[in-house]
Amino acid sequence: MTSRPICELSPGPDDVAWFEATARGELMVRHCEACDEVHFPPRPICPYCFSDRTAFLKCAGLGTIYSFSTLRRVEVPYCIAYVTLDEGPTIMTNIVDCVLDSIAIGQRVRVVFQTSANGYAVPMFTPVAA
Ligand SMILES: [Zn+2]
């Protein structure tokens, strides 16, 4: 149950509010008021209809593993995954704080935050106890 160090992040100007939310332990996606779609990454322009009438939407922090890959031929093995949030978007992330062999497609997960090398809180996911 070790985890690898998270590299330094360099948020852009559109990412500041999002990282302020992760620092509070909140995972945000973006909702489009024009077409009612939810998207991630949380860009200010909707990728579905190109409207700028978008706003942050706080996620419950729960999702389902859509796909994953476990990297074992490295110093500290780790799992990268696509997790489909209950709010709709699928995000690339890491599955952490679990036995890697226990990870499965369709597994329910919840968000946890780990700190990057330069202090940003990064959302990752861990299995929800059955
Ligand atoms: Zn839209």
The count of domains in the chain is 1
Q: Cα(50) to centroid of ligand 1, in Å?
A: 6
Task: Examine residue 8 and state whether it is found in any structural domain, yes or no.
Answer: no
Q: Cα(46) to centroid of ligand 1, in Å?
A: 5
34-88 pLDDT, tens digit per residue, is 999 999 999 999 999 999 999 999 999 999 999 999 999 999 999 999 999 999 9
- Per-residue pLDDT at 80: 97
**The domain spanning residue 108 has which CATH number?**
2.40.50.840
- Rg of the chain, C-alpha, whole Å: 15
Q: Cα(23) to centroid of ligand 1, in Å?
A: 27
Quote the DSSP letter at residue 48. T
What is the extent of the structural domain holding 23?
A: 13-127
pTM, entire model:
0.90
The Cα 7–Cα 116 span in angstroms is: 6
Task: Examine residue 5 and state whether it is found in any structural domain, yes or no.
Answer: no
Q: Cα(87) to centroid of ligand 1, in Å?
A: 15
Task: Examine residue 90 and state whether it is found in any structural domain, yes or no.
Answer: yes
Task: Examine residue 2 and state whether it is found in any structural domain, yes or no.
Answer: no
Task: Examine residue 106 and state whether it is found in any structural domain, yes or no.
Answer: yes
Mean pLDDT of the chain: 93
